[in-house]
Homo-oligomer: A and B are copies of this chain.
Amino acid sequence: MPKVDDLPGEPQPHINLLAGLGALSSIEMKALQTAGARARSISARREVLHESAQAGPGSLLISGWAGRVRHFQDGRRQILHLLLPGDLIDWCPWPDLLTPTTITALTDLKIAPAAQPDRIGSGLWQAYVQSAAIEQGYLFRQIGRIGRFDAHERLADILLEIGERLERAGASEATHYHLPITQEMLGDLLGLTPVHVNRTLQHMRTQKLIELRGNLVRLLNVRELKNIAQYQSLAFGGPREV
């Protein structure tokens, strides 16, 4: 598996991810590479985008984790969707049609302006559109997860999902990755309190389902985890001919 960090140069998860979604021309690949090089840094806990903002020309998350967030008046918050390296952030096929949500940096980030597809229907354009469709799929999963799963199921499910997404972006292995967010953020994502997240993780450790040291997770018993979460990968089409 591609241990991206060993490769020369910067890791470019957005290229790995998008190349899997649309048949990119070499020009488009180049554009993505140069975009990646022009990434700017944003530090943890900063807002990347505010609810009230207009949809921008699109951005690519190069490194770090972010989240679409809803804040409530009484201080509660819910992470609606987790954004991982390689993800497309606020691109939209037409101006002004994006539902604006606040996006917050959960860790330090690097964000690059998205390379613009030169025409509708190009490989890059297809990849972007697919990317948006996939996000919608994850929203559906998120609803099912927090609506009907208990704490163990939610954690098993999200750990599997994150691993799968990181692997697709070539950023990690699916069963062994760096989890750079706090248990409190995990709670905000899963609709649980940080205390309960902690206890549940403890329990999963004693069950030898996972290992968690520092912020390195290892999924020790993927079979059982998938069983707990009734897990199945989110299916989506690969690149198609235009």
Contacts and interface: CB of A to CB of B under 8 A. Distances in A.
Interface residues of A, number: 36
Contact of A133 (B97, B137, B140, B230): B97
A176 interface: no
Contacts of A130: 97
Contacts of A191: 146-148
Chain B CB within 10 Å, residue with most, of A80, A98, A147: A147
Most buried by B among A76, A139, A237: A139
Interface of A: 68, 70, 72-74, 76-78, 80-81, 93-94, 96-99, 101, 129-130, 133-134, 136-137, 139-140, 142-144, 146-148, 190-191, 230, 237, 240
A137 B80 contact: no
**Number of copies of chain A assembled together:** 2
Given A70-B140, A230-B72, A133 B80 contact: no
Contacts of A240: 96
Given A96-B237, A97-B130, A139 B148 contact: no
A126 to B, nearest CB: 8
A230 to B, nearest CB: 5
